[in-house]
Amino acid sequence: MSKGSPSLPYGTLDLLVLRTLVGGARHGYGILLQIHEASNNLLRIEEGSLYPALHRLETTGLLKAEWMISENNRRAKYYGLTAKGRRQLAEEERNWERVAEGVSRVLRFA
């Protein structure tokens, strides 16, 4: 096993992105930094994974995007949650809790 960042189970990136945007709109790099910081530097998402996920989430109506000027005075695409995205986040958080509980029980069983 690698000692670097753990690999994420399928679908987890979407959950992390949606959760990161609860506090307000962010540009892609800001999302990467927030996930990295919130995970205490354990999770590192590659841009090559993030931007296709953002596009997919926008296309499915879970995110809205708007071009704005960033904190360093550059144009950047900011992503925010839609009402549909908030509902999906709540569902995904419930699912994650059930999966995490199940995995934890199996790990304790042996």
pLDDT tens sequence across 48-70: 999 999 999 999 999 999 999 99
Q: In this model, does residue 8 exceed pLDDT 90?
A: no
pTM of the model: 0.89
Tell me the CA distances in angstroms from 29 to 26, 32, 44, 70, 73, one per residue in order.
8, 5, 12, 11, 14
Give me the mean pLDDT over the 26-51 stretch. 95
pLDDT at residue number 3: 57
pLDDT at residue number 1: 38
CATH topology of domain 12-105: Arc Repressor Mutant, subunit A (1.10.10)
Retrieve residue 33's tokens. 């930094």
Q: Domain limits of the chain?
A: 12-105
Report the share of the chain in percent with pLDDT over 70: 95
